[in-house]
Amino acid sequence: MGGNRLPHIAYFHSLALTKILGQISSAFVMDIVGRGVALRNAGSQRGLGHAITQAVLERVFDLVLPVMLLAWALVAWRGQFDGAQAAGSFAGVCLLFAALAAVCLAPLTRLALRAYAAARALRARLRRVAVDDPELDPPVVDRRLAVQIGVLSLLRYLSAMLLFWSTAAGIGVDFSFFQIAAATPVGQLAGMLGFTPGALGIQEAGWVGGFKWVGADDAAIALFVLSSRLVMTASFAVLVLVSWPLLRRSRAATPA
């Protein structure tokens, strides 16, 4: 969306690296500022302010799906949905999210980047310098691209849910589909809002609250919370190590 023309491996490595650094610094700051710095390191010509604007827009967009699924969990819990009703309504919320992305993403992107351009213009006026930067024009986000972004965001969320479920299964904790699906948005929202290193303590509190709400066993919750933190950190560490030589090879192959 932001007009950066970098190879996929640059984004892949930057995301994995900021996730690891977020474990020892503020996860929130790493998501908002660190990724822009990492992309500029990888060759992006965009200013840091532009990168932060995009990261904030991403963060706002990323909040929408967990909030929708938290609302779904509340309705399903109070309505005492059975397995088929819970799975069917969950799928319906996911499809609704993809439809909302198709309608709302383009105007949100234009609004965010126009606000950034206006802020830059105001700063230049106060400093009495000229600003002529065609790259500040909002990118064209057509309906097809908006749908692609919405679907990819949805797949990323479902992949995270699958990671949490497989972590629980791997340590012998038997969470039901509804328990995982209802607790995940609480844990995800807590992690996104966390300002401590790696959202430490905040994300764990979200997971504990979410699983307690749906009646999970205390010992199972404690074991899952510890295991998911270790698995997540180890996974991103492996991805950083694997992607670094690929990024270097990509840079070497790019003509000056």
Could you tell me if 60 and 232 are in contact, meaning their C-beta atoms sit under 8 angstroms apart?
no
Q: What is the DSSP string of 192-209?
A: HH--SBTTTTHHHHHHHH
- 3-class secondary structure, 128: coil
Q: Is the pLDDT of residue 131 over 60?
A: no
Q: What pLDDT, on the 0 to 100 scale, is given for residue 145?
A: 78
Residues contacting residue 100 through CB under 8 Å, at least 6 positions apart: 64, 150
The helix (H) or strand (E) run that includes residue 256 is none
pLDDT at residue 54, rounded to an integer: 67
- The amino acid at 175: F
Mean pLDDT of the chain: 80
Alpha-carbon span 207 to 221, nearest angstrom = 8
Residue 83's pLDDT is 84
Token pair 């991805």 in the structure block, residue: 239
Tell me the residue length of the chain. 256
pLDDT of residue 134: 53
Identify the weakest region by mean pLDDT among 2-16, 26-40, 129-143, 187-201: 129-143
> Distance (Å, rounded) from C-alpha 41 to C-alpha 55?
16
Average pLDDT over every residue of 155-177: 90
Cβ atoms within 10 Å, residue 248: 12
Q: Cα-atom radius of gyration of the chain, to the nearest Å?
A: 20
Question: 204: pLDDT confidence band, cut at 50, 70 and 90?
Answer: confident
